[in-house]
Structure 1
């Protein structure tokens, strides 16, 4: 029987929690767009010219905004961490791990990514963002180690 079936609790967990991680990563672009619109902060001059011809307003719109930059950095961090997490999750599932262990990895991974983004966007005190990053990274490394160990 294939481990890549929804009848396999571990694989079903990866599908569910991996999809939530990817959905959160995708939603981060909407968070950035929201901040760009509400803060009138655009990335290019042609974007600014769509709303005004006033050179001073264009100049202001092109200045970096902290909220926009925070959401962009949170999104970039997701791209750097969620993609490896989900891909390694697939490799990890191929080793047919115990469902409870796999589900713990996936739940901790998702929770860590949520904590990281919330801490970044809402400017939570340190070390909350770092805790989210380290937990997520450690979870990914744990899956990597378990996958390699199962093969060699």
Structure 2
């Protein structure tokens, strides 16, 4: 039995790509915080608080997504279904950060958060179902 954790596995290579992009987006939030601190010449201001909030929310969601994605890939999911889970999650996180930082609060921020969370719940349910 071969390992699912090889780039020959379409699901794993998709997770590597989209997980890396999501983590990269998360990493970029720190310099963005510095940019707004310098732009407004203030360590604490509403814009900095929004960027920091978006960054914190990314850490709380992207890291579990990557771990869950590894568990999901281990179940040998349909590569097309897996790819769409990863794409939708990344798109939801990009939208969430953009909406959070741009002051467009609710309901759009909530919707983008729920879309990402729903993809994680879908992967979780499929992972649990595969091992039961």
TM-score, length-scaled by structure 1: 0.84
Question: 4+ residue runs of structure 1 moved beyond 3 angstroms?
Answer: none
Q: How many residues align?
A: 131
How far off its partner does 1:125 sit? 5.2
How far off its partner does 1:113 sit? 0.2
- 1:150 counterpart residue number: 130
Deviations 1:82-128 (A, max 9, x none): 00011100000000000011001000000000000000111225321
> Is structure 2 residue 113 aligned with structure 1 residue 133?
yes
Q: Secondary structure at the match of 1:3?
A: coil
- 2:68 counterpart residue number: 88
Runs of 5+ consecutive residues of structure 1 not aligned to the other structure: 43-63
- 1:103 counterpart residue number: 83
Name which one, 1 or 2, has greater alpha-carbon Rg: 1
Once residues 19 and 90 of structure 2 are traced to their aligned partners in structure 1, the CA distance between those partners, rounded to angstroms, is 8
> Is structure 2 residue 19 aligned with structure 1 residue 18?
yes
- 1:114 counterpart residue number: 94
Superposition pairs of residues 55-94 of structure 1, within 5 angstroms: 64-94=44-74
Runs of 5+ consecutive residues of structure 2 not aligned to the other structure: none
Once residues 88 and 104 of structure 2 are traced to their aligned partners in structure 1, the CA distance between those partners, rounded to angstroms, is 19
Taking only aligned residues, the RMSD between alpha carbons, in angstroms, comes to 0.9
Once residues 138 and 41 of structure 1 are traced to their aligned partners in structure 2, the CA distance between those partners, rounded to angstroms, is 37
Q: Secondary structure at the match of 1:85?
A: helix
Once residues 84 and 124 of structure 1 are traced to their aligned partners in structure 2, the CA distance between those partners, rounded to angstroms, is 26
Once residues 132 and 126 of structure 1 are traced to their aligned partners in structure 2, the CA distance between those partners, rounded to angstroms, is 10
